[in-house]
Structure 1
Amino acid sequence: MIEMALIAQVLVLVLVTAVFHSTGSASMFHPLTLYLIFHALVFVMRPILVHTQNFDDVWLFMGFWPSEQQFVMTLMVSSVGLVAFAAACAWAGMIRPDWTPNGEPAPSFAFDRVDIVAFLTTAALLGPLAIYSAIQRQGGASFDGTGDVQMERDPLTGQPIYTNTTGYIAEAHSMGLPLTLGLIWICRFHPLSFLPFAGFVAYRAYLGWGRWAIIMGILGLVLLMLYRTRTKWFRLWHALAAVPVLGLFTLLGNNRDAFRDVLAGDAPPSVLLRFNGGSGGGRAIDALAGQDLANFDFLAYILWVVPKQSATYTWFTQYLQLFTEPIPRILWPGKPVGAPVKWVDLNDYGVFYNLTTSLPGDGWMSAGWIGMIVTMVVVGLILGRLHRWFWTDGFRNRYAVLFYCAFLPLCLQWFRDGNITIVKFGFFSLLPILLWIALTRVLRAWGILEDDPLRPVVAPPNLVRREPS
């Protein structure tokens, strides 16, 4: 029974991909492309490996083992979610990527002095905060009351919360990603402009945590490079370059302190080649047995809990956290951890600490089949509409291109986590870009730097030469 369901799961993915490609709107700039990749990894490849390779580490951690019927049910829910998201996203984003609409090629952007001054001002305002945050976080977060960044686990939810600082400071180092991407963009891919970006990736590798920032940062950079070359799909060398990146992602997942230990002399450099996280005697494929791609396992647990064990749904109340999360805990010591209203707590029935619900799981918790379909359709419509805007107007605007290429990779985090995490990650990942855009508009509106020699000169209407009648 499971084998037939796995085959059907693959066929659904192939069918949706074929229909999407036949619409002519498919490209690496389409959010549906990213969801198809995400679905293929966590809801197609993962259950196949769980069934054939006996991956049971996550089941042991959660204290839950699905029956054959529950396994098949999880596959069905994920496939229905895929179809709902794909239909909404493809319909709302139905536009053919065209670099030369109406015969006019996409502009080759040049940045004038206003752009440069506004970006340098943005970097001067936010850069020191990002660097300060990075220095604080270089030792990680401690739970024993020592260190620059201290945390404790909430006894009810198990979620870590900051005790001696605020997330606005502790997570500000994430702004290094948009700042370094913006530098590459405004320098028009000058080789030296890649150095700060490489430094950010190296810092993230040293830190160990926040590995998704590496994936999203590199994906955003590749999207900018695809735009520069007017290419809709990855090239072969992009795929080859992704192999060591995925290896780094897996390595840090199995050993967060790998680079830290090597640089400190506590481990030999050969530890960087042990992707299975063990002593070298395990199977190489066991590197995929962890929690990184285990959203299928998490979804199976959610379907078991809600509503049979919980006797209720969340009824979308988890989104009330949008109103409480922005308030620093330092100003509100009694702020609820997570959503202010909790109809369902997954930790009441097993261990779900620091695990992610995924977008389909978050929708299922809201209202079962209806909640899952509504969630997938609404998110699909939002992202599809954003894709349509990009190919209608955005790709002609030098600010919009950077914004879109920085935002699109964040969707992977949205698909993986569900809930409101897209807002929290988006705040730090897009704030420098939005501030840069705002400063350029202010400078131009106030007429500052009007003597910019790089700006094209346009004669006022009253000075335009009139031909004699």
Structure 2
Amino acid sequence: MGSLFVWLAIDALSLGGSILWLRRRLSFLHPAFYYLFFHLYVITIPAWQVYLGGSVMYEGMSGYMAIRPDEFARAIAYADLALVMFSIGTLLGPRIAFAWKARPRGTGYVLSGRLTVLLLAILLPFSLYFFAARRSGLGAGSLLVASGYGTTFALWLFACLIVGLFRFGFRWFLVAPLAILLPIVGLQGYLRFSFVLTLLFVASVYVYRTRRRWPPVWAWPVAIAIVLLFPQMKYIGKAVQEDDLSGAARRVEQALFLAPPDTELIIEKQMLDPYAGALTLADGLGKRYFGRTYLPLLTFPIPRFLWPHKPGFGDHVIAMATRSRPYDREGRTITYIAEAYLNFGIAGVILVPLVFGVVLSRAYRIFRSGPPGRVGQLFYLSIMVSLIQAYRDGLNSIVVFGIIHMFPIVIAWALHVMTQRGKCKFSLAQARQ
């Protein structure tokens, strides 16, 4: 473990240096904040847990290959490299994008109150039907309700309410439905990510509307509690559904460190382990995908009941799985870094974060430009919130969680383009830092 300590020291320097480097730009709505949180939560903290004697994935399991110290060391090194490249891209992005004199070329649409009411009047009942049908099981016989489309339409309910919050503020008739429906989603184990992302989105809208740089002090203990509860949420939800309230309470105590956690929790919360093992599995394939992992986005709109064997987002994970590391059966996620390595090798670890930093910093510059209340700003917040999922699962998640699940925002933009309501032009040179 001596060499691992060296890489932990380098990781601390990389993370601390990036924070100092980006400190003037950092805010709750800046893309660098989400990346730094991802690195801390997925790489730094689990790496220290491993070094201090924490459990390792597959350790002590007959027929399985535990993650080795050298694999952890390489995973940390690649993650640090990606962090540095993302930081460089974030700093260079505005300079590259605006190297010439900016002219009034930005075009946007301030969200119209009338169009927002029209959108909510149509989509709220539509999405509420699918939410209720999937929750009650009344529509289980319908292919549309039972399919992935049914889940997507049900989640549009939260997107509609967030559009309302963005336009009209935190009115009781918008906050109350969220307060009632979000706990229901949170206790559905497979939808826990939607629960967290929706909370992040609501918090982002609040920070934006109140013109804050960070959420208020009282919100941080709530955020920490959610971070601690997240790995246990599917177990808590399962216990509640089985009327095992004592079991649910025990899981909450474990999440808040009031009781020792079960082994299954320890293994699951360490997302570093699957990522470290995935780098070795990618080498074992003996080939590069060169972007083919992103092609399932083209077939995503086709329902699986019409094409049962259509390409899936996790096909590359299935291909790399082995008997000693059965990622396919376990549904492991490998992070966007391992995905970039699988696609382009070490060049992917360098270039993908660099390009990502440039693009996202440019998007933030546009977000801070022009008049407030634009549809484009709401869309930016949607993409920013989905980054946490994308860094963990792969870049396809930006489209799935940031666009498909938030499609009412796209519909709102289309309505404004067609009617030309709220159209405005602005200069990108006037961005508010």
Taking structure 1 as the reference length, the TM-score comes to: 0.76
Amino acid at match of 2:127: A
Q: CA deviation at 1:58?
A: 5.8
**Larger RCO (CA within 8 A; separation ≥ 6):** 2
Q: CA deviation at 1:15?
A: 0.8
1:122 and 2:119 correspond: yes
Structure number with greater Rg is 1
1:132 and 2:163 correspond: no
1:14 and 2:6 correspond: no
Give the alignment partner of residue 321 of structure 2, picking from 335, 339, 347: 347
Measure the CA separation in 1 of the matches of 2:362 and 2:110: 28
1:377 and 2:354 correspond: yes
Stretches of structure 2 that go unaligned for 5 or more consecutive residues are 97-108, 423-433
In structure 2, the CA distance between the partners of 1:254 and 1:9, relative to structure 1 (3 Å rule), is farther
Alignment root-mean-square deviation, CA: 3.3
Higher helix share: 2
Measure the CA separation in 1 of the matches of 2:39 and 2:406: 25
**Greater alpha carbon shift after TM alignment, 50-59 vs 228-237:** 50-59
- 2:154 is aligned to 173
Give the alignment partner of residue 236 of structure 1, picking from 205, 217, 229: 217
In structure 2, the CA distance between the partners of 1:64 and 1:149, relative to structure 1 (3 Å rule), is farther
Partner secondary structure for residue 307 of structure 2: coil
- 2:72 is aligned to 71
The Cα offsets for residues 232-276 of structure 1, whole Å up to 9 and x where unpaired, read as 123321212213323442331434413323xxxx22357235236
Contact kept? 1:306, 1:365, Cα under 8 Å: yes
- 2:25 is aligned to 25
Amino acid at match of 2:322: D
Measure the CA separation in 1 of the matches of 2:281 and 2:157: 39
Measure the CA separation in 1 of the matches of 2:366 and 2:373: 11
Contact kept? 1:258, 1:271, Cα under 8 Å: yes
Partner secondary structure for residue 289 of structure 1: helix
- 2:266 is aligned to 289
Contact kept? 1:254, 1:276, Cα under 8 Å: no
Amino acid at match of 1:202: P
Measure the CA separation in 2 of the matches of 1:60 and 1:184: 50
Contact kept? 1:317, 1:339, Cα under 8 Å: no
Q: CA deviation at 1:386?
A: 0.8
After TM superposition, the structure 1 = structure 2 runs for residues 297-446 of structure 1, keeping only pairs within 5 Å, are 297-307=273-283, 309-338=284-313, 345-349=319-323, 350-353=325-328, 354-393=331-370, 396-443=372-419
Amino acid at match of 2:320: L
Q: CA deviation at 1:48?
A: 0.9
Contact kept? 1:74, 1:303, Cα under 8 Å: yes
Contact kept? 1:42, 1:295, Cα under 8 Å: yes
Partner secondary structure for residue 301 of structure 2: coil
Partner secondary structure for residue 236 of structure 1: coil
In structure 2, the CA distance between the partners of 1:66 and 1:149, relative to structure 1 (3 Å rule), is farther
Contact kept? 1:275, 1:284, Cα under 8 Å: no
In structure 2, the CA distance between the partners of 1:58 and 1:418, relative to structure 1 (3 Å rule), is farther
Taking structure 2 as the reference length, the TM-score comes to: 0.82
Measure the CA separation in 2 of the matches of 1:352 and 1:287: 15
The Cα offsets for residues 111-148 of structure 1, whole Å up to 9 and x where unpaired, read as 7xxx33322332233223322332343268xxxxx992
The Cα offsets for residues 28-56 of structure 1, whole Å up to 9 and x where unpaired, read as 11101110011011110011112314223
- 1:455 is aligned to none
Give the alignment partner of residue 195 of structure 1, picking from 173, 176, 192: 176
Measure the CA separation in 2 of the matches of 1:76 and 1:126: 46
- 1:106 is aligned to none
**Greater alpha carbon shift after TM alignment, 170-179 vs 52-61:** 52-61
Measure the CA separation in 2 of the matches of 1:245 and 1:281: 15
Identity of aligned residues (%): 22
In structure 2, the CA distance between the partners of 1:400 and 1:277, relative to structure 1 (3 Å rule), is same
Stretches of structure 1 that go unaligned for 5 or more consecutive residues are 96-108, 141-145, 151-161, 447-469
The Cα offsets for residues 396-423 of structure 1, whole Å up to 9 and x where unpaired, read as 2432332222321111111111141221
Amino acid at match of 1:116: G
Measure the CA separation in 2 of the matches of 1:439 and 1:285: 50
Q: How many residue pairs get matched?
A: 403
**Greater alpha carbon shift after TM alignment, 55-64 vs 85-94:** 55-64
Partner secondary structure for residue 362 of structure 2: helix
Q: CA deviation at 1:25?
A: 2.0
